[in-house]
Amino acid sequence: MVGGVLTSLGFVFSAFARSLLHLYLGLGVLAGFGWALVFAPALGTLSRYFSRRRVLAVGLALTGNGASSLLLAPTLQFLLDTFGWRGALLLLGAITLHLTPCGALLRPLTLPGDAPAPPRGPLAALGLGLFTRRAFSVFALGTALVGGGYFVPYVHLAPHALDRGLGGYGAALVVAVAAVGDAGARLVCGWLADQGWVPLSRLLAVFGALTGLGLLAVGLVPAVRSEEGWGGPLLAAAGAYGLSAGSYAPLVFGVLPGLVGIGGVVQATGLMMMLMSLGGLLGPPLSGKGLSQPVRSQPSSAPGVQAL
C-alpha cells in the first residue's frame, strides 16, 4: 500500500520536472522504490496462497504486465498527443495510485514452513542468509546474468522502431506485439509447468536459452527503411522475444519455493528482483552505448514512447 502511494508521487513529481535530475529522482528513485515495495510482497504472498498450481497462479498474475503494456502502448501515445508528457505523467500517477487498494486485498497466511519467530537483525530480515545455500546462490547468479539482457528489448524496441521511421504509433505497435507474446506465453508456460511433464529446472534452462536466442533475433533484424512496410521483420522479432521472455518469467519465481522453502519465498522474491534489477541497470546502458545514430523520427513523441 505504501508502494502504491510512493509510485504515484513519483509520477506526479516527474510531471513538474525541470531537468533530467528531477526525472531521475521522480521516476527512478521514488517510483522505482514504490514498485519494489509493491512487486516483491505481492508476488511472494501469491506464491504462499497456492501449492498445487503455484506456477500457473504466478504466470496468471504476471500476465498483467503484458496486458498493461499492450493497452498502454497506444493509450500513452494518445495521452502524449492530447495532454503532452506532463499531463500523461499526471494521469499515470492517478492510475498507479490504485495499487494502494490492491495492496489492501492481500492477507498474510500462517503456513507450516514459517519460522516460529520473526527474523532478528538486518541480515536475517533481508534474507541474505539464503546465499549460504549453494543452489540458491547459483540460481541467483544466473538470474543476474539473464537480467543483463532481459530488459534490453523492452528499453530499446520503441526507440529502435522510431529510428527506423515507423513513427510514434508504429513504435507503439512494436511494443504491443511484444506485450501480446509476453502475456500469452506467461499464462501458457505457467500451465505447462504445473502439469509436471517436465521438471521445472529443465523448463527454466530451455526457456532461458530461448530468451537469449530471442534477444539475438531482435538485434539481427534487418533495417526497416520506410513506414509503409510496418517493419514486418521487427514486429516478428519483437513477438518472438515476447514469447520467449514471457515463458521464462513465471518459472523464475515458481521455482523459488522448492529452493528456499515456503517460509523464505517472500525474501527470496525480493532478492531475485534486486539481482534482476542490477542486471537491468547495466544491460540497457551498455547495449545503448553501441547505438551510432540518435532517434530522429517523430521527435515530439519519442520521449513518451521511450518512457513506456
pLDDT in tens, 93-141: 999 999 999 999 888 888 776 777 777 777 777 788 888 888 899 998 8
3 state SS for 189-229: HHHHHHCCCCCHHHHHHHHHHHHHHHHHHHHHCCCCCCCCC
pLDDT in tens, 177-229: 888 888 888 888 888 888 888 888 888 888 888 888 888 877 777 544 444 55
Report residue 28 as a C-alpha cell.
527512478
Confidence check: pLDDT of 4 > 90:
yes
pLDDT in tens, 46-82: 888 887 888 888 888 888 776 777 777 778 878 888 8
* Mean pLDDT for all residues in the chain: 81
φ, ψ (nearest 5 deg) of residue 110: -100, 115
φ, ψ (nearest 5 deg) of residue 261: 85, 160
pLDDT in tens, 228-254: 554 677 788 888 888 888 888 888 888
Confidence check: pLDDT of 306 > 50:
no
φ, ψ (nearest 5 deg) of residue 263: -70, -25
How far is Cα 279 from Cα 53, in angstroms, rounded to an integer?
29
Radius of gyration of the chain (CA): 20
How far is Cα 221 from Cα 228, in angstroms, rounded to an integer?
17
| 291: confidence class by pLDDT, cuts 50, 70, 90 | low
